[in-house]
Amino acid sequence: MTRQAPPPSPRRAELLEASYRYTLEHGLADISLRPLAAAVGSSPRVLILLFGSKDGLVRALLARAREDEMGILGRLGAAGDGADARGLTDAAGHVWDWLADPAHRPLLRLWAESYARSLVATEGADGPWHGFARATVEDWLGVLAGHQPPAERGSAGGLARRTAVLALLRGALLDLLATGDDARVTAAVRSQLAASPAA
């Protein structure tokens, strides 16, 4: 039976950050409490006490990764003189520049691992992976919507357009993570964005 995690505490926050840094390097899907606890200067017992269960820790780590993702998207979305000033195509180019930066690969590999795990999760609606993939799609579509003119944003065509942009970015990201071929993938993204009608 899963115990309810206690309220946040400074020690919990400290161990969450250390665990998050560990998962950026080692991944999350096959995480084992014993090596994780040793790496962060704790014990499996303390991690269970602070997070309620291994699933509770995984949930907290996924939430932490999503927090980073949304912070980044929020900063990208706030760039410029107004949310829709650059248009959807230009915003997608800025998002791609961030995604293609090698410094961001650990977070993006963790995102890809978590996204894939969420798609095949079998633990039910209360499992730690449940809903992660859907939530990230909704997060990204929301940010992209902010770069469309209001009249387009609420239309079926506007939703289809930002869905196509998201599909381009996500597919290109998976290709880049698999191959590391920055030049080829970036050229393809730029070519496709240039062929898109201006927002």
Could you report the per-residue pLDDT of 44-63, keeping only the tens digit for each?
999 999 999 998 999 899 88
Segment 88-112, tens digit of pLDDT? 898 899 889 989 999 989 989 989 9
DSSP letter (8 states) at residue 6: P
Question: Per-residue confidence at 82, pLDDT binned at 50, 70, 90?
Answer: very low
Share of the chain above pLDDT 70, in %: 86
Judged against a pLDDT cut of 50, whether residue 144 lies above it is answered with: yes
Separation of CA 173 from chain center: 12
Burial class (CB in 10 A: 0-12, 13-18, 19+), 44: middle
pLDDT of residue 85: 42
Query: CA 109 to CA 34: how far, in whole Å?
Result: 23
Which alpha helices (DSSP H) does the chain contain, by range? 10-26, 33-40, 44-51, 54-78, 87-100, 105-119, 132-145, 150-153, 156-179, 182-195
Segment 8-41, tens digit of pLDDT? 789 999 999 999 999 999 888 678 899 999 999 9
What pTM value is reported for the model? 0.79
Judged against a pLDDT cut of 80, whether residue 121 lies above it is answered with: no
Q: Per-domain residue ranges for the chain?
A: 62-195
